[in-house]
Amino acid sequence: MFWSIFRFELAYRFRRPATYAYFAILFLFALLTGIYGNGPASEKAFVNSSYTIGQLLIVISIFSMLIASAVMGVPVYRDIEHNTRDYFFTYPMREKSYMLGRYLGSFLILFLISLGLPLGYLAGLPIGLGIGEFEPERVGPFVAYHYLYPMAIFTIPNLFFTGTLFFSAVALTKNVRITYVGSVLLFIGYLLANALTTDLENQKLVDILDPFALTTYTNVTKYWTPVEQNTLVPALSGNLLINRLLWVGVSLALFLFTFFRFSFQHVLAKPVEKVKKKLTEANAAISGVLPKVQQSFSGSAYFRQMLKQTILEFRNVATDIYFIAILLAGVIFLFLDGWFGNPIYGTPSLPLTYYMLEVKDFNYTLFAFIIIIFYTGEVVHRDRSVNYANISDAFPIPNWVTFGSKFLALSLVCVVLVSMILVCGVLNQTVAGYFNYEWSMYFTDLYLLELPEYLQMTMLAFFIHILVNNKFTGHIVSIGVWILMFAIRSFAEIDYNLFFFSYRPGYTLSDMNGFGHFITSITWFNIYWLSLGGVLLLIGNLFWPRGAESSGQVRLQLARTRNNRWVIGGTVALLVVWIATGTYIYYNVSRVNRYYTRDERLELGADFEKKYAKYRLTPQPKVSDASIAINLYPSDRKMDAKGSFTLVNKTKSPIDTLFLFIQSQVGNTRITELTIDGRAPVLVRKDTIHRHFSYLLPKVMEPGDTSQMIVAVAGIDRGFDNGGAPGAIIQNGTFINIGIFPSFGYPGDVISSDKDRKKYGLPEREYVLPPQTDSVGLSNFLFTNDGDWITYEATISTEPGQLAISPGYLEKEWVENGRRYFHYKMDKQIDLFANFSSANYAVQRDTWKGPEGDTVAIEIFHHPAHDRNLDRFIKSIKASLDYFGTNFSPYQFRQMRILEFPRYANFAQSFPNTVPYSESFGWVADFSDPDDTDYAFYVTAHEVAHQWWGHQVMPSATRGANQISESMAEYSALMVLRKEYGDECMQKFLKYSLDGYLRGRATESKFEATLLDNDTRAYVWYRKGSLILYALQDLVGEDHLNRALKAYVDSTAFRTKAPFTTSNEWYSFIKRAVPDSLKYFTEDSFEKIALYENKINESDYVKMADGRYKVTINIQSRKVYYDGKGNETGDGTSANLIDIGVFAADGKNDRGMTRKTPLYLRKHWVNPGKSTLEVIVNEEPTKAGIDPYNKLIDRIPDDNTKGLTKK
Amino acid sequence: MQLIIQNLNKTYSNGVQALKDVNLTINQGMFGLLGPNGAGKSSLMRTIATLQEADSGSITLGDINVLTQKEEVRKILGYLPQEFGVYPRVTAERMLTHIAELKGIRDKKERKDVVNTLLQRVNLAHVRNKNIGTFSGGMKQRFGVAQALLGSPRLIIVDEPTAGLDPAERNRFYNLLSEIGESTIVILSTHIVEDVTNLCSNMAIICLGEVIAQGHPADLVDELKGKMWSKSIERAELTDYRNRFRVISTQLKAGKTQIHVLSESQPDAGFSAVEAGLEDVYFSRISEKMDLTTV
């Protein structure tokens, strides 16, 4: 009996077109992924690496939830839907056979459908290779195991889970809609859960609870190097094993429950509810003469009817239980997204209004999209699907009444969707105790900018549903249109918003600059799309299905007869608006500003390199004195500036040509005046596309000659562009730098990716900077070739309401012609690196007093409302000046300033005695939890440290020199942080560094460089640098290392003549602090790539007779060496000095921070492999560990500490 | 006012000719449309109710050209299709009030009165506050009747209106309909011949898209007067009889097959004369067009 049911199920399914459609969907998707897939982030990993295949299979198994719901939801429902249950169940078959046959038959089909994925992918790869989407060397060999293993571990269990879930849901509830909505809800819930797991702390829990094991997979593989990504599959052990056992177990339990619970009686039973509510018939006397009524058919009556009908339509949507369910899920989603926000280093931000608004662009977009598409279909087709149209179509109302009411009802749904963002935002803020609701920001953003986008989506979906005139096809086409647009934008890399319905530039809200100039561009785009949407509505109205006609020809004919002057007039008017706004947008995006596709941009960059790289080594003069006058016009978004620069020929060759390159941050910057020693040089070559110009000098500059160059520039940020760039000169919070003036010679290559370089005919490039021995590199500073030490002064003017700032001491401030002027002057030489900032600032002042009575004026220029964390900045500056002054060298300036700038960029940058600092980077952070990292303090210390590392010690332009600037600033900041907050906060902080380093090397596209020769990799200079230097001071002693660093500063600070310092010189000083026994560590860390795999195994303790405790610690240790590509090259064989610790339960320090309570903590020489240690402690221990503070680079830092068992 | 249908043709895109040169003139009062399933009754009614286009021909209602002046027709139309639905989560009263609004009844009091009266007349007053989704088939059908009678329709088209109604409700409905029918055109399609006999002053029989008979029911019956003969035979003999006589209908009676034969004179001695009814008219007309096998 089972077999015949099973076979019937298979045969039935094989005849259903849907089976093939599902297969085709997966096949097609995988085919496209195979053709266009870029594979992992690293260019060195194969596009078909084992990692990629595994990830693809898991991700698709999640999306296959929808297919699983469709396939597994129907086998039982089929008998309910077609009413076959009424007789089918009377046949002599056993419930168990019936259920098992249907279940297994469907599941086999589901499995066969899922094979579309690997097959499609395998078919796509050769095509992608054939059409040149990727190079042959990026395709690895076919390894069947790479497909079979993840299918067995992930695909099948995941399908088993979702399939069983939906099968059981329908078999037990008899309701098939639960599968559609259930899959959407499960999907949303899954995304939600993922969104909550950005915090590093709760990863283990998430690893186990993720039903699809995607997070688990990501966590297991996240530190894989490109080579490992190509060849490894995740081992079925640890969290992954627990996860799989758990979810297969859950699925199995659910299946068994359904299996034993299922009964025909249950399926046959009519819903109890309906029976109970069954209405009784009355036998009332029939009487009453029908009253005569007055009917009126006028425009105003129609209008009123439309509004009434709108309310009814809206009620129909709003009372739909599934609508409420999806909306509610979305609200929870919005709320939690807002609640957890965007932590930086695990520290949350205040629930500012713009953060509350920005969560709408997270997963809520998807959610709103689902509601809009789905309910547009419901509303458009409702009258038809419930057969109400059969009577209502004959009512004496014009089409537009019905049509309009439906569109209005959907518009109300859009208003509800948008308002949810407001409700959740305000709720979040209130619960968090933050009452600074910025209503105007809420309303402007939601109702002026966001609502039109939802309406545009609705208009298109509405139009499609009317034209297609079939609910299911309508959904498919609507979603298809968006997928198509998305695919073109991502695969073809064309994102010209004017071509993509309802797309528009992005924008960023800022407390300082508000909506900036974004409202204008967004509004133009909104008008553009709304007018097109209006045209679609007018056409849709002509095609509004009414009556029984459904053939395209008759509908077209009907549309013609319905057409009239008003429709034509309206269409023409809207088209005029559409074309006019489109033209204006085009003018702004492509004429006033420029638009390039990614390919065009790369080609431009390649062309630039081909044309001008030949000037890379051509001698050019250097600036020795700079005197600048700059006028900023924030309201007009423009500036003009004039610089007087003394030029020196520091090379050994004569210079007759000056190459000027303009790469100003300000739009449309051009040179308005140029004289050399009072004479205009001859322009011999002009390239306005690449903004590169050659000028013949009036007089050849012999080596050692000086000249006076006066150059004036003017620039203006006009209109708006395609992407929504914030521009440089803004209404409040301008921050530009010396780059507004032209630079000399060749500024450097634009394209760094070897993949792109090959594609555009450029040679592959290992390093950007020359080796440590290169004489040209040694003669230049790392950050600019255009000048060494210079004298500097600047006069900067701005609007009267704003303060303008540039490096230097304020000499004079005055008002002239309604403008405010500031004159700044440096009394010492600085490097050629200066900013010009202007904003409406409030200023917080303080003074640091040095040990010798010297003082430094501290000034924090901040947005008036951002006064919450000012103390932290000031405290950090003082602590930094203390520490660096004591341990490195005296501070070279008399002032230290921090300037806030809008959050269009997210960084802080250290100019001489002046640090511009992004609005979102600490100013609005919520540091109320003492366990959260005080990154405002840390980042400030880092930037202050740059006054030494980058403004005193000037690294040369050679390989490895970046570490002198960035790794040293990290180290310095870590020391200041530890001094202030103690050891307790270090581990958490360093864990972020470790994570960043390991992720960075996993996505490396060339090779991982060492600390001595790295020139481009931020993960090496920040992350690895901070880890290594922190561990080094821990090994050799902080004072010991600092003495070596002090000697290094003494020897190199303010070095006026080349050769400037290199990583080799830096390393030679560091090595002086290291005893021979620890040389292995510096060699491993600076010259090689070495990673530890330390772990504590099951360990225990016993109470001794004297009341003390003997702890037996079982550890294992391994040190692995890697080459730059990520291949293991061998294990370390000698012992390493590693912390061993035994701990009591965690306590709190006096700041309220959680701290480990060591009962025993000492460094041991630990041999590779397993070893056992015995330690005696006085108090009862709870846990022990090897390298428990994660000072070493360890791929799995979480298994270093473990609870102890009592013996 | 008269409804005049001339040379009306309609062919569906699948090639089925639903209406074939239909000519009808319908006066005030009840007009019955008889015909087998798929005869084109519903197509004709939908076309008159402005919900379907015609390929050729014309329909006029007084001065109104039904095929082009749809708005005008709808203002005076009451239509109850064979199949219809309503929003399930709306109460009967609310829905009917809403439809009254859509039918242009602006005055609130008038609207309330007419809705109340109608609910009573169709015996739904006691469930006025219940969601229509919970209604039984008969209740829903009565709701449909109520909505068709809303306003002051001068043209009422009801397609199989009594399907699903129990005999009592059916009577109630016909009473209501005939009350209105005196001053309006009521087109009633049905396959219950008896209903037409009882109610209609005029009728037409449609088969395969063609009007094959029209006139007063009694007149049509008169044409068969003295020509209907009946006989009880064994089932096995039926083929033989069919070959020899014009058998227009067969019926099982007490285990035997009773046949009706159309003939100018007594076919043979076993036949006895029966009084012709409208049913005989129906079967005799239909059997001219298509092969009827009722047993």
Task: Provide the shortest C-alpha distance from residue A386 to chain B (in Å).
Answer: 5
Q: Do B172 and A286 touch (CB under 8 A)?
A: yes
Q: What share of chain B is helix, strand, coil (3-state, %, to 5)?
A: 35, 30, 35
Distance CA A1051, CA A1069 (A): 10
Joined tokens for residue B30:
């009840």
Residue with tokens 């004036």: A712
- What CATH code would you report for B3-217? 3.40.50.300
Q: Do A316 and B89 touch (CB under 8 A)?
A: yes
DSSP-assigned letters across all residues of A183-202: HHHHHHHHHHHHHTT-SSTT
Residue A53: Cβ-neighbour burial (10 angstroms; 0-12, 13-18, 19+): buried
Alpha carbon B14 to its chain centroid, in Å, reads 25
Joined tokens for residue A486:
């998305």
Q: What average pLDDT does this structure show over B137-149?
A: 89
**Do A345 and A423 meet the contact criterion of CB atoms below 8 Å apart?**
no
Dihedral pair phi/psi, residue A241, rounded to 5°: -65, -45
Distance CA A1021, CA A961 (A): 10
Mutate to test the interface with B, among A273, A286, A557, A564 (most CBs of B within 10 A): A286
Q: Tell me, what's the pLDDT at B295?
A: 44
- Nearest partner of B199 among B145, B161, B226, judged by Cα: B161
Helix (H) or strand (E) holding B206: strand B202-207
Q: Do B110 and A316 touch (CB under 8 A)?
A: no
pLDDT at A276 over 70: no
Distance CA A467, CA A452 (A): 22
- Nearest partner of A365 among A474, A482, A471, judged by Cα: A482
Q: Do A547 and B46 touch (CB under 8 A)?
A: yes
Chain A residue with minimum CA distance to B119? A286
Helix (H) or strand (E) holding A644: strand A638-648
Distance CA B2, CA B5 (A): 10
- Nearest partner of A448 among A500, A359, A518, A351, judged by Cα: A518
Chain B residue with minimum CA distance to A296? B104
pLDDT at A53 over 70: yes
Strand B64-65: give its sheet, edge to edge: B17-26, B3-11, B56-61, B64-65
Contacts of B107 in chain A (CB under 8 A): 293-294
End-to-end CA distance of chain B: 43
- Say which residues have a Cβ less than 8 Å from residue A1018's Cβ, sequence separation at least 6: A966, A1000
Residue with tokens 């590509």: A1125
Residue with tokens 């839907």: A81
DSSP character for A498? G
Distance CA A364, CA A353 (A): 17
Alpha helices by DSSP H, listed for A982-1020, are: 984-1002, 1018
A287-300 pLDDT, tens digit each: 667 777 888 888 88
Q: Tell me, what's the pLDDT at A490?
A: 76
pLDDT at A278 over 80: no
A486-545 pLDDT, tens digit each: 878 877 778 899 999 999 999 999 999 999 889 999 999 999 999 999 999 999 999 999
Q: Tell me, what's the pLDDT at A294?
A: 83
Alpha carbon A41 to its chain centroid, in Å, reads 14
pLDDT at A182 over 80: no
pLDDT at B48 over 70: yes
A573-585 pLDDT, tens digit each: 999 999 999 999 9
Comparison of pLDDT for B202 and A90, the residue scoring more: B202
Task: Provide the shortest C-alpha distance from residue A97 to chain B (in Å).
Answer: 36
Contacts of B179 in chain A (CB under 8 A): 290
Helix (H) or strand (E) holding A1183: strand A1183-1186
Q: Tell me, what's the pLDDT at A274?
A: 46
Q: Do B125 and A282 touch (CB under 8 A)?
A: yes
**Do A785 and A827 meet the contact criterion of CB atoms below 8 Å apart?**
no
- What CATH code would you report for A617-747+784-949? 2.60.40.1730
Comparison of pLDDT for A756 and A795, the residue scoring more: A795
pLDDT-derived band of residue A273, with 50, 70 and 90 as boundaries? Answer: very low
Contacts of B89 in chain A (CB under 8 A): 315-316, 319
**Do A347 and A933 meet the contact criterion of CB atoms below 8 Å apart?**
yes
Distance CA A71, CA B228 (A): 60
**Do A71 and A253 meet the contact criterion of CB atoms below 8 Å apart?**
no
Helix (H) or strand (E) holding A1173: strand A1169-1177
A815-828 pLDDT, tens digit each: 999 999 999 999 99
Distance CA A893, CA A829 (A): 11
pLDDT at A879 over 80: yes
Q: Do B13 and A387 touch (CB under 8 A)?
A: no
pLDDT-derived band of residue A873, with 50, 70 and 90 as boundaries? Answer: very high
Q: Do A558 and B53 touch (CB under 8 A)?
A: yes
pLDDT-derived band of residue A362, with 50, 70 and 90 as boundaries? Answer: confident
* DSSP-derived pairing of the beta strands A787-798 and A622-633: parallel
pLDDT at A24 over 90: no
As a whole number, the mean pLDDT across chain A is: 90
Q: Tell me, what's the pLDDT at A275?
A: 43
- Nearest partner of A902 among A917, A913, A892, A887, judged by Cα: A917
Q: Do B51 and A393 touch (CB under 8 A)?
A: yes
Q: What average pLDDT does this structure show over A985-1004?
A: 90
Chain B residue with minimum CA distance to A306? B102
Q: How many CB atoms lie within 10 A of CB A137?
A: 10
Q: Which of A284, A391, A546 sits opposite B79 (nearest CB)?
A: A391
Q: What is the largest CA-CA distance in chain B?
A: 70
Torsion from C-alpha of A1081, A1082, A1085, A1088, nearest 10 degrees: -100
**Do A286 and B145 meet the contact criterion of CB atoms below 8 Å apart?**
no
Dihedral pair phi/psi, residue A345, rounded to 5°: 50, 35
CA A470 to each of CA A74, A279, A980, B106, B192: distance values in angstroms, whole numbers, following the listed order: 21, 34, 68, 34, 35
Alpha helices by DSSP H, listed for A361-445, are: 364-385, 389-392, 399-431, 439-443
- What CATH code would you report for A1088-1207? 2.60.40
**Do A497 and A479 meet the contact criterion of CB atoms below 8 Å apart?**
no
CA A772 to each of CA A397, A1012, A1052: distance values in angstroms, whole numbers, following the listed order: 85, 9, 16
Task: Provide the shortest C-alpha distance from residue A839 to chain B (in Å).
Answer: 58
Task: Provide the shortest C-alpha distance from residue A288 to chain B (in Å).
Answer: 6
Q: Do B51 and A312 touch (CB under 8 A)?
A: no
Contacts of B99 in chain A (CB under 8 A): 391-392, 395
**Do A259 and A236 meet the contact criterion of CB atoms below 8 Å apart?**
no
- % of residues, chain A, pLDDT over 70: 96
Q: Do A396 and B125 touch (CB under 8 A)?
A: no
**Do B260 and B230 meet the contact criterion of CB atoms below 8 Å apart?**
yes
**Do A316 and B85 meet the contact criterion of CB atoms below 8 Å apart?**
no
Q: What average pLDDT does this structure show over A825-832?
A: 95
- % of residues, chain A, pLDDT over 90: 64
As a whole number, the mean pLDDT across chain B is: 88
Q: Tell me, what's the pLDDT at A1025?
A: 97
Alpha carbon A342 to its chain centroid, in Å, reads 10
Q: Which of B68, B75, B85 sits opposite A295 (nearest CB)?
A: B75
Q: Tell me, what's the pLDDT at A744?
A: 96
Q: Tell me, what's the pLDDT at A285?
A: 53
Alpha carbon A740 to its chain centroid, in Å, reads 29
Mutate to test the interface with B, among A270, A323, A391, A399 (most CBs of B within 10 A): A391
Chain A residue with minimum CA distance to B118? A290
Task: Provide the shortest C-alpha distance from residue A544 to chain B (in Å).
Answer: 13
**Do A809 and A894 meet the contact criterion of CB atoms below 8 Å apart?**
yes
Joined tokens for residue B142:
């009565």
Task: Provide the shortest C-alpha distance from residue A284 to chain B (in Å).
Answer: 7
Contacts of B127 in chain A (CB under 8 A): 279, 282
Distance CA B136, CA B157 (A): 23
Q: Tell me, what's the pLDDT at A1090?
A: 96
pLDDT at A609 over 90: yes
Joined tokens for residue A328:
């509610």
Joined tokens for residue B72:
């005008």
Lowest-pLDDT choice from A387-391, A601-605, A741-745, A1073-1077: A387-391
Q: What average pLDDT does this structure show over A618-646?
A: 96
Angle at B254 between CA B253 and CA B256, to 5 degrees: 65
Give ranges for CATH 2.60.40.1730 in chain A: 617-747+784-949
A700-752 pLDDT, tens digit each: 999 999 999 999 999 999 999 998 888 899 999 999 999 999 999 999 999 99
Residue A740: Cβ-neighbour burial (10 angstroms; 0-12, 13-18, 19+): buried
Contacts of A284 in chain B (CB under 8 A): 120, 123, 125-126
Mutate to test the interface with B, among A390, A546, A562 (most CBs of B within 10 A): A390
Q: Do B85 and A390 touch (CB under 8 A)?
A: yes
Task: Provide the shortest C-alpha distance from residue A328 to chain B (in Å).
Answer: 20
Q: Do A394 and B118 touch (CB under 8 A)?
A: no
Joined tokens for residue B272:
């006895």
Helix (H) or strand (E) holding A78: helix A50-81
Residue with tokens 């459609």: A21
Distance CA A1092, CA B228 (A): 108
Distance CA B100, CA A161 (A): 52
Q: How many CB atoms lie within 10 A of CB A409?
A: 22
A70-84 pLDDT, tens digit each: 888 878 777 776 667
Rg (CA), chain A: 35
For chain B, give every domain's residue range.
Answer: 3-217, 226-275
Mutate to test the interface with A, among B43, B51, B135 (most CBs of A within 10 A): B51
Joined tokens for residue B241:
């009889």
Contacts of B90 in chain A (CB under 8 A): 312, 315-316
Q: Do B98 and A557 touch (CB under 8 A)?
A: no
Distance CA B53, CA A618 (A): 83
Q: Do B46 and A548 touch (CB under 8 A)?
A: yes
Q: Around A653, how many Cα atoms within 13 Å sit in the side-chain half-sphere? A: 8
Comparison of pLDDT for A82 and A973, the residue scoring more: A973
Contacts of B130 in chain A (CB under 8 A): 279
- Say which residues have a Cβ less than 8 Å from residue B171's Cβ, sequence separation at least 6: none
Contacts of A319 in chain B (CB under 8 A): 89
The angle, 0 to 180 degrees and rounded to 10, between the axes of the packed helices A364-385 and A399-431 is 150
Q: What is the pTM of this model?
A: 0.85
Contacts of A558 in chain B (CB under 8 A): 53
Q: Tell me, what's the pLDDT at A574?
A: 97
Residue A1059: is the preceding peptide bond cis (ω within 30°)?
Answer: yes
